Amino acid sequence: MENDPRAVFERLFGDGATDAQRRARGRTSPRAAPREIGRGRVMGVRILAIYGVPIGLLASGPLIGTLGFANFVGIYVSVGMAVTILIALRWRRALW
């Protein structure tokens, strides 16, 4: 194990990036869904779940440092619930 923080960061970043690529290709393959609508849903989930992760991780570090962990989690959960409710209200006819 190296003691240089930059080398450790580069190694962890590279490992994480390659692992994320492998998981994204293997688990959300469009071939898993037999119909066109199924492939569209799989790709939509892939976009929502995978591609936003690096941005969220990069943004959360400074926010946790500024706001504190408990405050950050409270705001994160509140925003997530508010957006979920807005989506449900906007799409309620299609969902139910």
Read off the pLDDT of residues 41-90 as tens digits, 9 standing for 90 and up: 777 777 777 777 788 888 888 999 999 999 999 998 999 899 889 988 88
Q: Report the C-alpha dihedral over residues 12, 15, 21, 26, rounded to 10 degrees.
A: -130
Res 9: pLDDT = 79
**pTM score:** 0.47
Res 94: pLDDT = 75
Higher pLDDT, 11 or 85: 85
- Would the CA dihedral through 86, 92, 94, 95 be positive or negative? positive
Please give the average per-residue pLDDT across 6-27, as a whole number: 73
Rounded distance between C-alpha atoms, residue 38 and residue 32, angstroms: 8
- Ramachandran sector of residue 68 (left: φ over 0; alpha: ψ -120 to 50; beta: rest): left
pLDDT(35) > 70: no
